[in-house]
Amino acid sequence: SMSAEEDYDCVVIGAGVQGSFTAYQLAKHNKKTLLLEQFILPHTRGSSHGQTRIIRKAYEQDIYTQMMGEGYQLWAQLEKEAGVTLYQTGLLVMGPETSGEYPLVKNTLLKNKVPTVILSRDNFHQHIPNMVLSEGHGALLDETAGVLFADRALKAVQLGGVIRDNEKVMEIKPGSVVKVTTSGGAYQARNVVITAGPWTNKLLAHTGIQLPLEQTVKINVCYWKEKIPGTYGVKQRFPCFVVTGSLESKEHIYGLPSNEYPDLVKICYHMGSKTDPDYRDLQTDTSDIDILKRYVSRCIPGLVPEPAVVESCMYTLTPDRHFVLDYHPNYSNIVIGAGFSHGFKFGPVIGKLLCELSLGEVPSFDLSPFKIRRFQSEMKSAL
């Protein structure tokens, strides 16, 4: 005999940062909400683990800078409610002065009146000792930026509602009431939100669509040892940094000051190699690490140019690298949040937006850049 399904207003699938914040917001709206997670929490299989993330307003596109305006307010609220700490370190942005992303980021920051210091070649070393500004590069500081303690934030937000971890979703049956069957139970809900990171398309297969999230990539998260402890530390006011392009690479290189691991600076390449999230460790490409070694030895002379620790993280990229925040094309009671290759800092805003979509409210931001229909040509071939 069929066991009775448990009834919810909303089931959120995937308890990473986006799903956790969505469930948190739904619970605040007094919706009976269930958050499902396939692995035992906390885990390091997806995209939301690790101790620190950069929080910044420095983007080329206005929409992200504006969303982060609200993001800061929501993180501040969480600091009060849950004792989550934000360190204001500033973010150093460097890149070719007149081409690529650097001038766009500079323009967006100034236009949106974000407190910004433009550094000159002459005063760069006063502000940023122990770092080399490449020939022809501009540099600026987004003074509002800093470091988020990611795992603490996640734990704080997950305290809110009902979470079932170690429950993998086996089936989703769309309908006016959606039936969700997991390895541990059966549930039904008037609304479902899918925030499953690299596993999004495996779930969407149950609902008859595939998004062009063809790029699930594994990032090697590298930690580099300081030759003299503390040189690049938070206490020395060393900032986070992003290099928009360099001799070594067209992709971003980003770094965070030493803090989470004593005497180790986290520096990563913002791209990785295509990986099946269920077989992550079979991906052993280290060409990104070679690029980082060359950059570190040329531009950050106070670090040993060989990573001391390497961890991994998954990114899920859409073709245009913008998020997906939208209704399922065929079922208006299924909402999808995906494509977060740079999404942790947006967690509170995205949770709020996915909650608004799920409740049928007008979203607080214009979501046209994040709609699924922009992929129509790619999606026809995907199905």
pLDDT in tens, 55-93: 999 999 999 999 999 999 998 888 777 776 777 899 999
* 3-state DSSP assignment of residue 357: helix
Tell me which residues are annotated as active site: 49, 52-53, 266, 270, 313, 345
pLDDT at 2: 52
Domains assigned to the chain: 6-41+165-212+320-375 (3.50.50.60), 89-148+215-317 (3.30.9.10)
Pairwise CA distance, residues 67 & 339, whole Å? 16
| pLDDT digits 0-9 by tens, 326-374 | 999 999 999 999 988 778 899 999 999 999 999 999 999 999 999 999 9
pTM of model > 0.95: no
pLDDT at 250: 83
Residue 47 has pLDDT above 70, yes or no: no
> How high is the mean pLDDT of the chain?
89
What confidence category does residue 1 fall into, taking pLDDT thresholds of 50, 70 and 90? Answer: very low
| pLDDT digits 0-9 by tens, 190-212 | 999 999 988 999 999 999 999 98
C-alpha distance from residue 41 to each of 36, 165, 318 (Å): 11, 6, 27
Which run of H or of E encompasses 288?
Answer: helix 287-299
Select from 187, 197, 160, 190 the least CA-distant residue to 344.
197
| pLDDT digits 0-9 by tens, 125-173 | 999 999 999 999 999 999 999 988 777 778 888 876 789 999 999 999 9
The tokens of 236 are what? 């020395």
pLDDT at 214: 62
What confidence category does residue 380 fall into, taking pLDDT thresholds of 50, 70 and 90? Answer: low
pLDDT at 280: 66
Asked if 25 contacts 71 with a C-beta cutoff of 8 angstroms, the reply is: no
The DSSP code sequence of 165-233 is: -S--EEEEE-SSSEEEEESS-EEEEEEEEE--GGGHHHHHGGGT---S--EEEEEEEEEEEESSTTTTB
pLDDT at 286: 83
Instruction: Find tokens 């460097």 and name the residue.
Output: 94
The tokens of 335 are what? 């909402």
The DSSP code sequence of 104-154 is: HHHHHHHHTT--EEEE-TTTHHHHSTT--PPTTEEEEEETT-EEEEHHHHH
